[in-house]
C-alpha cells in the first residue's frame, strides 16, 4: 500500500469538510519579505478528499502578505477537480496533476488562469496522473496505469507514453536519465523496481531492483539517486542509494521516514519527515542524519503532509494535514529551523510551489 492509498483511506474515513471560499485569509503571523526579492509567493496544491471533488489551489502573496484560499476557482470559475497531486512550474506555465479526475491542468504560473486541460485517459480508462518533471521542453508525467507520458511544452500535446513498472510514483532526472519509482502500491504485491529512461531515445533502458513499494525518489549533485520504499505495513521503510553512472545499487538501509515524505535535496543535505512528525536533516556526503528535530519552537505538526526548501532563502516549508478532513496549514521556518509564520490552506495540503515575480 502506498502514500495515495494510506492517506486517502484516512481522508475517506473522516467527515468531509467544505473548503473555505475563495476570499483572502489573513495568516496567523505576518512574515517579513524573503531575502530574495524575486519571489512573488507560494502555491499549495490541496488534495481535498478523494471522490469529493474538492481539490483547491492556495496562494500566499509575499507583497500583500495575504493568502487566497482557492485562487484556481477564483481565476477560472470552476474547481480544480478531484485529488490534486503535484504541481511544478516550467517557463511561464504551471502544470498540475489531478489524480482522481485524471487530468493535467496547465495554467499561467502568475495568475493561475487555465491555458489547457488535458484528460489523461487510455480509451475509456483513466490513467490517473501522479507526478511531473521537466527536461529540454518536455514534461514527463507518471500515471498509475504504468506509463510516463511525454508532453511537448510548446504545443502542449502528448507525444508518446513510455511503459514502465506498476503504479509509478515520483520521478527524478539525474545524469541525463529519468528515474521512475514503480510502487505497485495498488496491489497486495508491491513492485520493487526503478525504471531508467534514456532522455535522448525516450525509452526504458533498465529496471533496477530496490526494496518493496518504492515511492519517494530524489538525486544529489554527487552522482547518487535516493529511493525510499515502504514495503507492506508494518514494514520499516528502506532507503536505497543508486549510482547514477553504472545504474547499480550502492547500499540499502533502514530509514525512519514518514509514509510518502519528500526527500528534498538542498545542496549537501536533504530534508524529510518521520512518522513522529519530526523534520530530519540528512547529510548527503556522510549518509547520516545530522539533526533529528530541525524545527525550533512555535509549532506542533499533527500530520506532516509535504515539505519543500526554497533555495533562494534556505527557508523550509512543511504542510500539516491535521485530521485529513478539515483545512490544513503551511508552516515556514528559517534555515536554522526557527519558526517564522504559518498560513491557512485547504484540505490535505500537498505540493508546494515557489513562483517568481
All structural domains of the chain with their residue ranges: 3-356
By 3-state DSSP, what share of the chain in percent is helix, strand and coil, each rounded to 5?
5, 50, 45
CA–CA dist 307, 330 (Å, integer): 9
DSSP H helical ranges for 23-86: 71-76
Q: What kind of architecture, by CATH, is found in domain 3-356?
A: 7 Propeller (2.130)
Q: Which three cell numbers stand for residue 132?
A: 511531473
Q: What is the mean pLDDT of each run of 10 residues along the chain (357 residues)?
A: 41 34 38 60 97 97 95 98 98 98 98 98 97 97 98 98 98 98 94 98 98 98 97 93 98 96 96 93 96 84 95 95 96 95 96 97
CA distance to 138, 166, 193, 258, per residue, from 182 (Å)? 21, 5, 6, 18
Evaluate the omega torsion of the peptide bond into residue 234 and state whether it is cis, within 30 degrees of 0. Answer: yes
Q: Which three cell numbers stand for residue 282?
A: 540528512
pLDDT at 298: 64
What is the distance in angstroms between the CA of the first residue and the CA of the last residue of the chain?
40
| DSSP secondary structure letter of residue 347 | E
d(CA 25, CA 344): 7
Residue 171 has a pLDDT of: 98
Q: What is the pLDDT of residue 324?
A: 96
Specify the pLDDT at position 296. Answer: 81
What is the torsion angle, in degrees rounded to the nearest 10, for the CA atoms of residue 285, residue 283, residue 247 and residue 85?
Answer: -160
Amino acid at each position: 500500500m502506498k502514500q495515495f492509498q494510506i492517506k486517502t483511506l484516512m481522508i475517506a474515513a473522516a467527515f468531509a469538510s467544505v473548503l473555505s471560499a475563495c476570499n483572502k485569509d489573513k495568516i496567523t503571523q505576518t512574515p517579513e519579505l524573503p531575502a530574495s526579492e524575486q519571489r512573488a509567493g507560494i502555491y499549495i496544491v490541496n488534495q481535498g478528499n478523494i471522490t469529493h471533488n474538492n481539490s483547491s489551489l492556495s496562494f500566499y502573496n509575499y507583497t500583500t502578505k495575504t493568502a487566497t484560499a482557492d485562487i484556481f476557482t477564483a481565476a477560472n470559475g470552476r474547481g480544480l477537480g478531484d485529488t490534486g497531486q503535484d504541481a511544478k512550474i516550467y517557463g511561464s506555465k504551471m502544470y498540475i496533476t489531478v489524480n482522481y479526475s485524471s487530468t493535467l491542468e496547465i495554467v499561467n504560473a502568475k495568475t493561475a488562469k487555465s491555458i489547457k486541460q488535458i484528460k489523461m485517459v487510455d480509451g475509456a480508462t483513466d490513467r490517473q496522473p501522479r507526478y511531473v518533471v521537466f527536461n529540454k521542453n518536455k514534461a514527463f508525467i507518471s500515471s498509475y496505469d504504468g506509463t510516463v507520458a511525454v508532453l511537448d511544452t510548446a504545443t502542449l500535446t502528448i507525444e508518446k507514453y513510455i511503459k514502465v513498472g506498476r503504479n509509478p510514483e515520483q520521478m527524478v532526472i539525474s545524469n541525463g536519465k529519468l528515474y521512475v519509482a514503480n510502487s505497485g502500491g495498488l496491489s497486495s504485491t508491491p513492485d520493487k523496481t526503478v525504471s531508467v529512461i534514456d532522455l535522448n531515445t525516450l525509452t526504458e533502458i533498465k529496471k533496477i531492483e530496490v526494496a518493496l513499494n518504492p515511492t519517494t525518489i530524489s538525486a544529489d549533485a554527487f552522482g547518487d539517486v535516493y529511493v525510499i520504499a515502504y514495503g507492506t505495513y508494518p514494514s520499516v521503510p528502506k532507503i536505497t542509494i543508486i549510482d547514477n553512472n553504472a545504474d547499480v545499487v550502492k547500499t540499502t538501509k533502514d530509514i525512519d521516514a514518514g509514509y510518502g515524505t519528500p526527500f528534498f535535496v538542498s545542496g549537501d543535505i536533504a530534508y524529510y519527515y518521520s512518522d513522529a512528525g519530526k523534520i530530519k536533516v540528512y547529510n548527503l556526503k556522510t549518509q547520516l542524519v545530522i539533526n533529528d528535530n530541525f524545527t525550533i519552537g512555535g509549532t506542533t505538526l499533527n500530520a506532516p503532509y509535504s515539505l519543500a526548501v526554497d533555495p533562494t532563502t534556505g527557508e523550509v516549508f512543511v504542510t500539516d494535514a491535521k485530521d485529513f478532513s478539515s483545512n490544513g496549514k503551511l508552516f515556514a521556518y528559517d534555515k536554522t529551523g526557527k519558526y517564522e509564520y504559518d498560513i491557512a490552506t485547504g484540505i490535505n495540503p500537498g505540493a508546494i510551489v515557489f513562483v517568481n515575480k
